[in-house]
Amino acid sequence: MTSTDVQQIYLDHQATTAVDERVVEAMLPYFNNKFGNAASRNHQFGWDAEKATQSARETMAAGINAKSREIVFTSGATESNNLAILGVAKMYAPKGKHLITCSTEHKAVLDPMAALQNAGYEVTVLNVDTKGNIDLNELRNAIREDTILVSLMMANNEIGTIHPVKAIGDICHENGVLFHTDATQAVGKELINVQEMNIDLLSGSAHKMYGPKGVGFLYVRRRNPRVRIEPVFYGGGHERGMRSGTLNVPGIVGMAKAFEICQTDRDSDHQRITALRDSLQAQLAAELTHLTINGDENNRLACSLNISFAFVEGESMLMGMSGIAVSSGSACTSASLEPSYVLRAMGVGDDLAHSSIRFSLGRFTTQREVDRAAELTISTVKRLRDMSPLYEMALEGIDVASVSWGAH
């Protein structure tokens, strides 16, 4: 019997989500019957494709209170982030070469920032507190005359902490600085209004909201202020010259349908998923000691539960919990054996960072799955702790951190 024959419980929705069947149904005609290129404007096939992408553009824009012409379709949030950061940096270089971001951003923001540093730009990286929150005063003080962009995520992919985006947008606009937010984890889950929040650029991805992989979008403000970006690559002048390449029509249709469903079901999904997450957290806390909740318990995504299980190694836990799909860190960087840089930035020690597990629930998660996941997690942690001399010392009241392990 292979591992795929065993019923798996999927609790890794911050990594990706299953495509909703209603989304698949909306996409199917654009793979065969309506397979035209949206840039082919000489026949019905192209017109159908263009009409579908325009309708999708309007759906995406309406969901964040933007205009359809402010939506640029991309291959996903990584491309959207790169286009926003590198595109603004190149366009506004004559004004200044200083950018601001944060230590807990996704690598799709931190890596382009590092590339800009290597190219002669200056980047200020804000710190976070123990819950993953930034200090707004630190942001204010970091802004300079030559600051051109602030890039701060809406919600964190590992711990779920939500940044005060409206307050950040207000600070940026008061200082005449553009504000980009990587909203990949928040689009479809949280209410977003780019006008009220003073957001100038916003990145999103379909596969985090029950849509297909390989498609995303970037909102680029056209008025007050008009934001201009240099393209990152060239060829054909698609998307008003900002992002060349043949549009992924089925993916775009699917993303819009997924977003539409999220808009309709957001309140009910939020309530149900929050209740499931709280149930999982309560069951674990009732049976296990020495747990640490990572992130801001009062200000996080409904789906997100990141816990450190002291005296247990995260990789060992994953092996013991083979029936549950969870993450021991960000899915995009989990190949590394280094402890999570997000948790490190929050001041979490290496031992606790290595023992962290991210559970993330979703639309299709059931109470029965949560109960089973809690049961399996509890039994795995207890079994591993029974083999841990450090845990035995902790039970005896010995402060493990104060022990000197020198040779005798």
Catalytic residue numbers read: 332
- Provide DSSP, 164-227: -HHHHHHHHHHTT-EEEEE-TTTTTTS---TTTTT-SEEEEEGGGTTS-SS-EEEEE--SSSPP
* Contacts (Cβ under 8 Å, ≥6 apart) of 361: 11, 13, 273, 276, 277, 280, 302, 303, 305, 370
Q: Where are the beta strands (DSSP E) in 281-382?
A: 291-294, 304-309, 324-325, 356-360
What span, in angstroms and rounded, lies between the C-alpha atoms of 3 and 43? 48
Give the residue among 72, 7, 63 at the shortest CA–CA distance from 190: 63
Cis amide leading into 225 (omega within 30): yes
Residue 389 is inside which H or E element, if any?
helix 389-395
Rounded to whole angstroms, the Cα distance separating 66 from 63 reads: 8
Question: In one letter, which amino acid is 379?
Answer: S
Measure the CA–CA gap between 275 and 366, rounded to whole angstroms.
11
Q: Residues 6 or more apart from 251 whose CB is under 8 A from it?
A: 27, 206, 211, 212, 214, 215
